[in-house]
Structure 1
Amino acid sequence: MWDWFKDWIFSIIQFFYGFCHDWGLAIIIITVLFRILVAPLMHKQAKSNYQMQKIQPKIQNLQKRYANDPQRQQEEMQKLYAEAKFNPLAGCLPMLLQMPIFVALFQVLREMGQREEVQDYCFYNIVPNLVMTPQQALEVGFGTFVPYVILMVIFAGATFLPMVMMQLKSENTQQRNQTLIMGGVMSLFMLWISWSSPAGVLLFWGASSLIGIAQNQITLAMCRKEDARKEEEQVIEVKPVEVNVTRKEKKKRPTKKK
């Protein structure tokens, strides 16, 4: 069943290759379609992360206040989530739903070199061989290795860039620093993984991450706009009504004739 699913995904890539006659462009088209398909899920996940960022200071206050009473802390947290209309599982569910498609795409691109249908896996004149790994490209020569380095940097950097960008606006200095350090360490780990990964995988992951960053920023902009609109409505409701009272000019009393 799983092999059939992977063959079906490869046939879709092959279908788009028939139009553009380039495997790299076909991979990018598939990546864009994949991102459009999971866009509603990613929107929900980004919105959930935004809500979590907003209530994070309140969560930390509750953790400090009820540090010695875990049960009360949990109750207060549930109340806070209910007031903020935040579901902690909302950020995890979209990721779990899209994982089968992502894993299948990843494996198909990794195993492309084992397929007998086509041997010339290139991305125009930019990347000569999408089946080749950066490690193998370096053995060929430095000139061949350069585009693979660029793919490695995009692969590693774009993966954790959304998380880092979100934490840059955080008021919690300690948490922000911890996130930045973790993002740096994980980026180095991703560089290590990319060293032995085929260029097709790096191209797919890098393009997917960059599109994901754009989608994330659009969602955050929509959330901020919605918050600004709600704040404006609250200000209008609270503002006292001003009544303009025009006082009539008093007429002079008529004087009696003597």
Structure 2
Amino acid sequence: MFDIFFNAAAGLIAFFYGLIPDYSFAIAMVAVAVMLLITPLTLKSTKGMLEMQRLQPEMKRLQQQFKGERQKLNEAMMKLYQEHKVNPLASCLPLLAQMPVFIIMFKAIRGLTSRPTPDSPFVPQHLDQTSAIYRSLVGKTEMLSFGIDLAKTPVRAMQDDFASGLIYAFLVVVLAGLYLVQQRMIASRTVSPTMSASQAKLMQYMPVAFAVFQIWLPTALIVYYMMQAIIRIVQQQYITQRFYKKDGSLGKQAQAASATAREMKNSATEDKKQKSKKEINTSEPQTFISKRVTPPKNSSAAPARLRPRPPGKNRSSFVQKKNKPNK
């Protein structure tokens, strides 16, 4: 069902290989083509995200006003979006649309060096058998480009020969560095009112962890992701120039609004703490009154059953006197 997409991606690789018969060049050119294809989606997603950030102070006020009233809050939010002509999904849908592209290219590039067992010859998938790249790969056990076997994983390369495998590890380090530069460019202009410092740092280093994961994947994919990372850095530079450079730009407004929303959140949190402390300090301790009544000491008003009997009298004489008939 999805083979048509995998075949199209592999056909694009074959096209660029036909222009210049080098695997790295073909894979890099495909990365450029894919990034040019999804750049409009990236710009649309960025614009939608900035428009949502610009409304954050208003959204915070509505959340405080309609606290505990979810239905009224949702109605007020929708009215706010309509007034400012903002689509809350505008920042999410373009990013979701990029996921199928990622999966298709991953499958197509891995299919170039498909083989039944790790040491058996290649049986390329999704390629036209008459294409030059198919004929150059079928029956081979290496996918050489500039002396590097793109079919080999960095882990396997270092296991075979540690010294020569360091170049594969170096490519992973370069990829991690590119991801880190890209993420810092994004973090330097983003102020999130809901994200803590630890969460922001975690988001900054997550792409680096993804790069390290590439040591178990073919080096051809590392080349593809490296080219994509370079183009993304250029994209982020363009986004900075377009949305953040001028005073009063959408990006500047979003930054100011995010800072205001963060101050509102911190102020609300501090007020809540102060209120809680005040309630604790002003609350009176409960007093407990015992229901047990203890008679006073040396009291003559002691109950009759507790009075001592008169001296010199015993129970028998007392009973006889009581039963003596009256004259």
Common fold: TM-score over 0.5: yes
Distance 1:165 1:179, change over 3 A: farther
1:94 maps to a residue whose letter is P
Q: Which has the higher helix share?
A: 1
Indicate the residue corresponding to 2:169 in structure 1: 149
Q: How does 1:1-258 map to 2 (within 5 A)?
A: 1-114=1-114, 115-116=123-124, 117=134, 118=137, 119=140, 120-125=142-147, 128-156=148-176, 158-159=178-179, 162=182, 164-172=184-192, 175=195, 177-184=197-204, 186-187=206-207, 189-224=209-244, 228=248
1:121 maps to a residue whose letter is M
Q: Alpha-carbon deviations, 1:180-234, whole Å to 9, x = none?
A: 232255235414531211111122123213312322331342223576379xxxx
Shift of 1:156: 4.4
Contact 2:113 2:151 in 1 (8 A): yes
Q: How many equivalent pairs are there?
A: 228
Shift of 1:174: 6.5
Contact 2:187 2:204 in 1 (8 A): no
Larger Rg: 2
1:63 maps to a residue whose letter is Q
Indicate the residue corresponding to 1:238 in structure 2: none
Distance 1:75 1:4, change over 3 A: closer
Shift of 1:46: 1.8
Shift of 1:33: 0.9
TM-score by length of 2: 0.59
Q: Could you tell me which runs of 5 or more consecutive residues in structure 2 were left unpaired when the two chains were aligned.
A: 115-122, 125-133, 251-327
2:43 maps to a residue whose letter is H
Distance 1:65 1:164 in 2: 36
Distance 2:99 2:66 in 1: 37
Contact 1:167 1:179 in 2 (8 A): no
Shift of 1:160: 7.0
Contact 2:81 2:87 in 1 (8 A): yes
TM-score by length of 1: 0.73
Distance 1:12 1:173, change over 3 A: closer
Contact 2:184 2:204 in 1 (8 A): no
Aligned-residue sequence identity (percent) comes to: 28
Distance 1:64 1:209 in 2: 41
Distance 2:57 2:29 in 1: 41
Distance 1:222 1:201, change over 3 A: same
Distance 2:168 2:225 in 1: 13
Relative contact order higher in (CA < 8 Å, ≥ 6 apart): 1
Distance 1:23 1:148 in 2: 16
